[in-house]
Chains A and B, each alone.
Chain A
Amino acid sequence: MLNHCRALDLTDDKGFLCGKTLADLGADVIKIERPGGDPSRGIGGFWHDTPDPEKSLYWFAYNSNKRGITLNIESAEGREIFKKLVRTADFVIESFPPGYMERLGLDYSSLSGINKGIIMASITPFGTEEPYRDYKDSDIVVMGMSGTLYQTGETDGPPVHISTPQACLHAGLDAAVGVMIAYHYREMTGEGQHVDVSMQQSAAWFQANAVPTWELMERNLKRSGAFRAGMSKDVGQRQVWPCRDGYVFFNVIGGRTGAKSLSALVEWMNEDGGATDFLLNMDWDNFDMFTVTKEEMDSISEPVGEFFRSHTRQELLAGAVPRGVSIGPLSSMEDLLNDECLRERNFWKEIEHPELGASLTYPREFVKSTETDCSTRFRAPLIGEHNAEVYNKIGLSQQELTELKEAGII
Chain B
Amino acid sequence: MDIDKREGVFSGLTILAFCWAVVGPLTMKFFADHGAKVIRVETRKRPCTMRSSAPYKDNIPNYNKGGYFNYYNSNILSLSLNMDTPEAREIAKKLAVECDVFMENYTPGVIEKWGLGYDELKKIRPDIIMLRQSGYGSWGPYAKLPAFGMVLVPIAGLPNFIGWPDKEPLPVGVSAYTDCISPRFATATLIAALDYRRKTGKGQLLDLSQFETALYFIAPAILDYVVNDREPERIGNSSPNAAPHGVYPCRGDDRWCTIAVSSDEEWAGLCREMDRPEYIDDPRFKKFADRKQNEDELNRLVGEWTTTLVAEEVMERLQSAGIPAGVVKNTADVYNDPQLNKRNIYWPMEHSEMGMFTHLGQSFQLSKTPSQAYSPSPLLGEHTEYICTKLLGMSDEEFIDLMQKGVFE
Chain A residues within 8 Å of B, Cβ to Cβ: 1-2, 17, 21-22, 25-26, 43-45, 47-49, 57-58, 60-62, 108, 126-127, 129, 131-132, 135-138, 140-142, 144-154, 158-164, 166, 169-170, 173-185, 187, 191, 193-198, 200-202, 204-217, 219-226, 228-230, 239-240, 242, 247-251, 256-257, 260-261, 290, 317, 320-321, 324, 326-337, 340-342, 344-345, 347, 360-363, 366-372, 374
Contacts and interface: CB of A to CB of B under 8 A. Distances in A.
A134 B370 CA distance: 24
Contact of B55 (A17, A22, A212): A212
Nearest to B205: A370
A58 B154 contact: no
B170 A152 contact: yes
Given A149-B328, A161-B237, A249 B150 contact: yes
Given A206-B174, A212-B67, A290-B54, A144 B368 contact: no
A201 B363 contact: yes
B170 A60 contact: no
B235 to A, nearest CB: 5
Interface centre among B10, B56, B192 (most CB of A within 10 A): B192
B220 A193 contact: no
Given A136-B323, A249-B151, 12 more contacts: A47-B227, A57-B220, A61-B220, A108-B367, A170-B184, A181-B366, A211-B346, A247-B159, A337-B226, A340-B142, A341-B137, A367-B186
B153 interface: yes
Contacts of A129: 339, 342-343
Contacts of A361: 222, 226
A327 B179 CA distance: 17
29 contacts: A26-B192, A61-B223, A136-B319, A144-B258, A144-B328, A149-B258, A152-B171, A158-B246, A158-B249, A158-B256, A163-B239, A180-B187, A194-B368, A201-B339, A201-B364, A202-B363, A206-B179, A208-B68, A212-B68, A213-B55, A215-B67, A242-B168, A249-B151, A320-B145, A330-B154, A333-B157, A341-B141, A366-B213, A367-B207
Interface in B296-353: 319, 322-335, 337-340, 342-343, 345-346
Contacts of B360: 205, 211
B85 interface: no
B170 A194 contact: no
A300 to B, nearest CB: 17
Nearest to B212: A347
Contacts of B17: none
Interface in B133-188: 136-137, 139-142, 144-148, 150-164, 167-177, 179-181, 184-188
Interface of B: 9-10, 22, 26, 30, 34, 46, 49, 52-57, 67-68, 70-71, 136-137, 139-142, 144-148, 150-164, 167-177, 179-181, 184-189, 191-196, 198, 202, 204-209, 211-213, 215-228, 230-232, 234-242, 245-247, 249, 254, 256-258, 260, 262, 319, 322-335, 337-340, 342-343, 345-346, 357-358, 360, 363-369
A384 to B, nearest CB: 23
A211 B326 contact: no
A5 B365 CA distance: 22
- Is chain A's interface secondary structure helix, strand, loop, or mixed overall? mixed
B175 A183 contact: no
Contacts of B247: 140, 144, 149, 158-161
A141 B186 CA distance: 28
A21 B188 contact: yes
Contact of B232 (A174, A217, A333): A333
B343 A160 contact: no
